[in-house]
Amino acid sequence: MKKALSIMALGTSLMLGACSQGDAPAAGAKEANVKLYTFDCGRIQMNDLSLFTQGDEYDGRTNAASVMCFLVRHPEGDLLWDAGIPAAIHEAGEEGVTSGPFGMTMPKTIEGQLAEIGLTVDDVDYFTPSHSHFDHIGDAGRFAGATLIIDKDERAHMFREEARADEQVFPLYSALEEAETIEFDGDYDVFGDGTVKILAMPGHTPGHTSLLLQLKDEGPVLLSGDLYHLQESREKRLVPKFNTDVEDTLASMDRFEEIAEETGARVIIQHVMADYDALPRLPDYLD
């Protein structure tokens, strides 16, 4: 097993109490030509939306959700953000698979979408999941050859004994345990130039994160991870029943909104179909 490189990135932490997220990016951030490609990583039919709030706001409702993954192309490397639902769902065809309250389909694979822009799985230098739920790490094992960048609490959560016992989910990402790893605490500036920052947003899971990008033409872009699942969730600050910590989630929502307001960022909620539909289709991208 390769030895994980534990990089405690406290020195680069960008928590609001220490450094304003509204500050202009460093000079390097203005010059780096960063491209953001959107991948279709599946569809989820949420058959019991009541799971996504502590109250009764969603009782009796369903929702059709997107599953987005993103490839960030930076002059110093390519980073995959999230890995969607399992590729095996693609093999099930148009009918897909139903598991508990979720129906899942996968029209395309990540591998196929990489090919659309002339890349292979081996070209991905870094992989970072917003968190370790099945719809964000479903195809993660395919990227064990990349460097894993992950919050230390999320890595501990992924490889806890209870997770290892899940015979359906754990094999999806178990290969990541042997991957070269950058483990951080707080926020993490991936390339050190302010263009790609992983933001600590715990609560959905212990080490859940969001991603802040600085693009030359588009400007700041915020990828939500699963801080929110619907636009309504954002507006009403609704916390799913299965989140690991309600108070941490609400604090993360406060922080996320403060950063969004201060930077003027475009917010992309990764499970909202309207947000997916508004993004460029491959081989096009945001920059």
Cα distance between residue 281 and residue 196, in whole Å: 21
Cα distance between residue 286 and residue 103, in whole Å: 30
Task: Grade residue 159 by pLDDT with cuts at 50, 70 and 90.
Answer: very high
> Are 64 and 276 in contact, with CB atoms under 8 Å apart?
no
Amino acid 31: pLDDT: 61
Please give the model's pTM, rounded to 2 decimal places.
0.89
Report the relative pairing of strands 63-74 and 219-223 from DSSP bridges.
Answer: unpaired
Cα→Cα distances 193→27, 32, 33, Å: 8, 8, 11
Ordered alpha helix ranges (H), 13-101: 27-31, 88-91
Between residues 23 and 210, the one the model is more confident about: 210
pLDDT tens digits along 131-142: 999 999 999 999
The pLDDT mean for the chain works out to: 91
Flag whether pLDDT at 32 surpasses 90: no
Cα distance between residue 30 and residue 32, in whole Å: 6
pLDDT tens digits along 86-97: 999 999 998 899
Flag whether pLDDT at 22 surpasses 50: no
pLDDT tens digits along 222-270: 999 999 999 999 999 999 999 999 999 999 999 999 999 999 999 999 9
Cα distance between residue 107 and residue 125, in whole Å: 25
**What mean pLDDT is predicted for residues 69-82?**
98
Task: Grade residue 15 by pLDDT with cuts at 50, 70 and 90.
Answer: very low
Amino acid 1: pLDDT: 36
Cα distance between residue 65 and residue 45, in whole Å: 6
Is the bond into 280 cis (omega within 30 degrees of 0)? no
Domains of the chain: 27-277 (3.60.15.10)
Flag whether pLDDT at 187 surpasses 60: yes
Please, what sign has the CA dihedral across residues 108, 273, 220, 82? negative
Between residues 20 and 96, the one the model is more confident about: 96
Dihedral over alpha carbons 88, 136, 184, 7 (to 10 degrees): 20
Q: Can you tell me which residue has the tokens 């994980």?
A: 4
